Amino acid sequence: METAAITSWTLIQEIPIPPDVVDLLVEGEEAVAAYKTFRDSAIFTTRRLIVRDAQGLTGKKVEIYSLPYSSVVMWSSENAGKVFDVNAELELWTRAGHIKVKLDRNIDIRRLDKLLAWAILKG
């Protein structure tokens, strides 16, 4: 498998689910958790991870990444043994490539690990 990440995101803190994310959801899909990124947000739903990335100087142009959990073939979580860790990260190996998700120390990596396990393994 490819070891260099094709993309990388940093989750800074958990936030309320943005109201406009409802427009992106399909029937039967629900938003479960949302996190602030540097320029926008990442939303974990019952079916996928949605990352909104504001671009340009004004941030009006928005690119949306949608990663269905069904495309994740393996994942790992890493921290220094503490629930809140400065260097925590998740890695996802998908059919599309390798994705790194870095986590700020305010984020509970075990909560995200459990969320991914629930979403990927329930299938």
Separation CA 4–CA 6 (nearest Å):
6
pLDDT in tens, 44-98: 999 999 998 877 666 677 888 899 999 999 999 887 665 554 678 889 999 888 8
Domain ranges of the chain: 7-121
- CATH number listed for the domain at residues 7-121: 2.30.29.50
pLDDT in tens, 1-48: 344 445 778 899 999 998 888 899 999 999 999 999 887 899 999 999
Confidence at residue 8, expressed as pLDDT on a 0 to 100 scale:
76
Query: pTM of the predicted model, to two decimals?
Result: 0.82
Q: Is 10 exposed, middle or buried (0-12, 13-18, 19+ CB in 10 A)?
A: middle
3-state secondary structure of 59: coil
